Amino acid sequence: MLQILKNKFIFLKVSSFILLSFFVLPKVFADEARKDVMVITVNGAINPVSAEFIGKSIRKANDKKGEALVIELDTPGGLDTSMRNIVKEIVGSQVPIIVYVSPSGSRAASAGVFITLAAHVAAMAPGTNIGAAHPVGLGGGKIDKTMAEKVTNDASAYIKSLAESRGRNAQWADDAVRKSVSATESQALKLHIIDLVAPDLKSLLEHIDGWKVRMAYGDRILHTKNAVVTREEPGLRNRILNLISDPNIAYILMLLGFYGLFFELTNPGSLFPGVIGGICLILAFYAFQTLPVNYAGLLLIILAIILFILEVKIVSHGILTIGGIIAMVIGSLMLFESTGPFMKLSLAIVLPAVITTTLFFTTIISLAFKAHRRKPVTGHEGLIGTVGTADTDIQTDGGTVLLHGERWAAYSDEPVAKGERITVEMVSGLKVKVRKAGST
């Protein structure tokens, strides 16, 4: 009997274990098979804002110990310092970084070439291109021949080291810097600039599954076929900062800042224009830190505003206004120095801005100047020069007059008969000094 009970107990124990395995083991294997791939999209110029977003995303992927981070890239280029910060984050990452130039019609130009070549896996979508990485000077400004050679040599050495470290075509990378060569996605694959061409993200992850990539801390096998894709979007702060880093937006913010502060100075106590103007000006100066600003252009714009102000106070027959318009147009065109159109002001923005600024300052200042010269119409000052009627005979010792229907105590240096028209010369407390109207 005991043996039967013992056998039954063993049977129940084995059965429970088998049943439990049906529920627990699939979950364990599923957890082990689960791989996370983070995806971010970088669309636009490479600047401190995009560098911050990419760096933050790489650190987050490292903290989560994800399988990989995919950067969907479409950029015309950008700032050298921001590009180098991104490259350092990619090289030092413990998670494989995949740069995917997509969607079709996108490009990885200038700074984008460095970022793509630095990636552990470089891929492109059909209908994309890469190249033209010749440096245009620090901040996009003009540089002399000697300095240009130094900058070019430095960029060449940097991009060749990136290409060699990833086993890619270092000679083409050097030509991209020195000769501004470009390549389509099929040419890039043939020249071994990139690792593959993929029509979409899903096919990209399936294709690289099982690939071995060289990391800073050793080789790593990618398991991306069944990965769970999560997209990381830039926060509100990054979106706002990226928006104002556009040259056209920064230019408009600067002008709005000048408008607001000037309106506040000419109309003390308005508050709202001054607050908004101050905020706009601070945002504009922040944006200027991320852009290749030519301060000669900025000074010309400030000079133009000064000329508009002087036009109201000095009779120049329009010469100052014309000078202001010329200074503002030239200053606006000079404000941002870059060979790339994405770092230049649009004429569709400059011309309306110049016209608006001219009208704003000449109109506002003219009205303020006229208001300043206008005779006061209220208070004691408003009574001076007012014409009224003598209510009584007025002698040096006093009398009364009617002014705007009000009776005032008055005195005069000359006798004034009752009913005569008088003019107020001076107000002293509640008493006015008058003279006969028409007399001097």
Residue 49, classed as helix, strand or coil, is: helix
Residue 291: φ, ψ to 5°: -125, 155
Does residue 8 carry a catalytic annotation?
A: no
Q: Active-site residue among 13, 150, 202, 313?
A: 150
119 Cβ contact partners less than 8 Å away, ≥ 6 residues apart: 71, 90, 97, 98, 99, 166
Q: Active-site residue among 57, 82, 93, 110?
A: 110
* Helices and strands per DSSP (H, E), number in the chain: 15, 16
Q: Is the dihedral of CA 62, 194, 45, 293 positive or negative?
A: positive
Query: CA 154: distance to chain centroid?
Result: 29
- Strands 97-101 and 121-124, sheet pairing: parallel
Nearest CA to 285 among 319, 257, 315, 243?
257
Instruction: Give the number of C-alpha atoms closer than 13 A to the C-alpha of residue 49, restricted to the C-beta side.
Output: 23
Q: Is 440 exposed, middle or buried (0-12, 13-18, 19+ CB in 10 A)?
A: exposed
Does residue 150 carry a catalytic annotation?
A: yes
Residue 379, classed as helix, strand or coil, is: helix
Q: Identity (one letter) of the amino acid at 176? A: A
Omega of the bond leading into 103 within 30 degrees of 0 (cis): yes
Active site residues: 110, 150
